[in-house]
């Protein structure tokens, strides 16, 4: 995909698959009656192509097995064994040791959560009281991740990129954060959701982000493409999209976006 254009169509299909998931997850009847094939033909066909592509690639790679020089994800997945049972198991969640890199990643996920909207939940019989407000049963409720990630009670200067908010440093009162401030930030941080319905791929995602970003920063110099402002807000846009330094997201369950355009140059050895 990096060297040839043959499979780059998949990038657009991922967005369509996510969009269908959002629609059908909010209104399950559409999925149960397959109404998406009638009401949202473009989105539905895109999702079908994505699923077919994913299955074919996974099946092709699985046939190769572990007897190969390719040290890709599947290689380690197929070779992983539980030391006690000897059975295959999923790759361990290998966490990076760099607190700063992790803080940079968490701050980016806070500002631009992969799922920015709410995950709807229906109030059970008897209703529920939240912060003194009674909500009757049958009501669909939720809190958008984008909203809580930009709440100043948890994240002071919520629209600023400040990785230091995730690092406790009592010795630096000007730039560091207290442990209490870090704990408050973590209490409202939910880019992968929380609880039993939290994203099962969280550990894998962090592993990939830590490894990929560290490798890219080590190998390349980077800059935003001169004169290109794709992905940012603009004073001429509608309310809420006027901040030029904020990466603009569109809620289609996952966060759709354009840009930014980045230029890379290999570092001199």
pLDDT of residue 90: 41
Q: Distance from CA of residue 17 to its chain's centroid?
A: 15
Calculate the average pLDDT of the chain.
81
Mean pLDDT lowest for which of 141-145, 160-164, 191-195? 191-195
Q: How far apart are CA 170 and CA 68, in angstroms?
A: 50
Question: Among 141, 144, 140, which Cα is nearest to 113's?
Answer: 144
Q: What mean pLDDT comes out for the span 107-123? A: 90
* 16-58 tens-digit pLDDT: 777 777 677 667 788 888 888 888 888 888 888 877 887 777 7
Binning the chain into helix, strand and coil, the percentages to the nearest 5 are 40, 10, 45
Burial track 39-60 (b if 16+ CB lie within 10 A, e otherwise): ebeebbebbbbbeeeeeeeeee
Tokens of 73: 């994800």
pTM exceeds 0.75:
no
End-to-end CA, the chain: 26
* 53-106 tens-digit pLDDT: 877 777 776 677 666 666 665 666 566 666 677 766 443 333 323 477 888 999
pLDDT of residue 101: 84
Q: Where are the beta strands (DSSP E) in 133-266?
A: 133-135, 140-141, 220-224, 250-252, 254-256, 262-266
pLDDT of residue 94: 30
- Cβ atoms of 187 and 148 within 8 Å: the answer is no
């Amino acid at each position: 995909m990096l060297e040839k254009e043959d499979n780059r169509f998949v990038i657009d299909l991922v967005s369509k698959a996510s969009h269908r998931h959002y629609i059908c997850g909010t209104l399950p009847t559409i999925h149960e009656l397959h109404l998406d094939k009638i009401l949202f033909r473009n989105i539905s066909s895109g999702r079908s192509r994505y699923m077919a592509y994913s299955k074919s690639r996974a099946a092709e790679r699985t046939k190769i097995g572990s007897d190969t020089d390719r040290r890709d994800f599947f290689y380690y997945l197929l070779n992983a064994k539980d030391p006690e049972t000897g059975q295959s198991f999923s790759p361990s969640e290998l966490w990076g040791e760099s607190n700063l890199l992790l803080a940079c990643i968490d701050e980016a996920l806070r500002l631009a959560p992969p799922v920015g909207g709410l995950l709807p939940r229906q109030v059970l019989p008897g209703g529920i009281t939240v912060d003194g407000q009674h909500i009757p049963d049958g009501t669909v409720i939720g809190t958008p991740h984008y909203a809580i990630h930009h709440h100043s009670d948890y994240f002071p200067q919520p629209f600023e990129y400040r990785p230091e908010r995730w690092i406790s440093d009592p010795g630096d009162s000007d730039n560091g954060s207290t442990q209490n401030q870090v704990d408050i930030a973590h209490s409202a941080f939910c880019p992968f959701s929380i609880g039993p319905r939290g994203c099962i791929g969280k550990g894998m995602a962090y592993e990939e982000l830590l490894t990929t970003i560290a490798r890219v920063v080590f190998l390349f110099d980077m800059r935003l493409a001169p004169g290109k402002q794709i992905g940012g807000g603009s004073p001429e846009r509608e309310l809420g999209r006027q901040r030029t330094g904020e990466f603009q997201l569109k809620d289609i369950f996952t966060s759709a976006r354009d840009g930014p355009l980045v230029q890379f140059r290999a570092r001199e050895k």
